[in-house]
């Protein structure tokens, strides 16, 4: 039986939106960003709450794809973000289509579908993964609405694979304390390649001095600890 190819599916793929150029979403690269609506978490600080429902996937991806093809000489990469892209049934054909453009591909994920992350890494469909680590184990359910175990499995598989670089990311929610960060470093991040701490854009931000104090506490838990948006 003939397998369905991404070319067969591309006209039916819908996404929530896209950004033509970002200098901050793929480390060191000029990237476009594609947003897939739908998310299985409910983070209290969500900055993309308009696209938590899959009904917001209304834009024809094929039009974006054609524009990316025209603009690819000015781009180095494309980021697939959300929402949560790994719960989307169109993620694989969408990544296959982007792969055909010859651009680097980064996936942003909340880590709740380790099977999908493993699949896209194994298939060579992504060059970089950014995985959100949102809270210490005791606060995960209350801060996100989901249990932590699948996220831990995704952290583990990214640490174990050697195919691609990755980063773990934590948004500094005002509900996280310095001891929460320490616990996350000790029990989740420990031994990771890169841990990016970023200021919360929707609720009160920590002062520079407070962030620096947190970084001093956690700096040994990843090879690189970086701060975004200080």
Which spans of this chain sit near ligand SF4 (rule: CB under 6 A)? 39, 41-43, 46, 48, 52, 82-84, 110
CB of 85 to ligand SF4, least distance (A): 10
User: What are 198's strand-pairing partners?
Assistant: 171, 228
Nearer to ligand SF4, 52 or 126 (CB): 52
Nearer to ligand SF4, 39 or 225 (CB): 39
Nearer to ligand SF4, 78 or 87 (CB): 87
CB of 116 to ligand SF4, least distance (A): 14
**CB 193 within 8 Å of CB 166:** yes
Cα(194)–Cα(52) distance, integer angstroms? 27
Nearer to ligand SF4, 20 or 42 (CB): 42
Torsion on CA atoms 180, 185, 84, 123, rounded to nearest 10: -170
CB of 206 to ligand SF4, least distance (A): 18
Nearer to ligand SF4, 105 or 146 (CB): 146
> What is the C-alpha radius of gyration for the chain, rounded to an integer number of angstroms?
18
Nearer to ligand SF4, 75 or 188 (CB): 188
CB of 227 to ligand SF4, least distance (A): 19
CB of 81 to ligand SF4, least distance (A): 9
Cα(22)–Cα(43) distance, integer angstroms? 24
* Closest residue by Cα to residue 197 from 219, 225, 174, 220: 225
Structure tokens at 154: 């995704």
Give the Å distances, CA to CA, from 213 to 45, 119, 181, 192, 204. 22, 38, 11, 20, 17
CB of 146 to ligand SF4, least distance (A): 9
């Amino acid at each position: 039986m003939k397998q369905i190819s991404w070319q067969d599916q591309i006209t039916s793929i819908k996404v929530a939106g896209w950004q033509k150029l970002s200098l901050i979403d793929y480390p060191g690269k000029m990237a476009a960003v594609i947003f897939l609506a739908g998310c299985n978490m409910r983070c209290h600080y969500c900055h993309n709450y308009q696209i938590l429902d899959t009904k917001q996937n209304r834009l024809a991806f094929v039009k974006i794809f054609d524009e990316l093809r025209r603009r690819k000489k000015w781009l180095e990469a494309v980021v697939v973000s959300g929402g949560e892209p790994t719960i989307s049934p169109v993620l694989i054909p969408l990544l296959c289509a982007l792969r055909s453009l010859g651009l680097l591909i980064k996936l942003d994920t909340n880590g709740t579908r380790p099977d999908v992350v493993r699949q896209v890494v194994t298939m060579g469909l992504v060059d970089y993964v950014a995985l959100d680590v949102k809270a210490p184990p005791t606060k995960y359910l209350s801060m996100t609405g989901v249990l932590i175990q699948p996220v831990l499995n995704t952290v583990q598989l990214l640490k174990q694979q050697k195919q691609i670089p990755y980063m773990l990311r934590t948004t500094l929610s005002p509900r996280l304390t310095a001891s929460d960060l320490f616990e996350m470093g000790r029990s989740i991040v420990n031994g990771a390649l890169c841990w990016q701490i970023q200021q919360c854009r929707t609720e009160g931000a920590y002062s520079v001095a407070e962030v620096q104090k947190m970084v001093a506490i956690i700096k040994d838990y990843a090879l690189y600890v970086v701060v975004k948006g200080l």
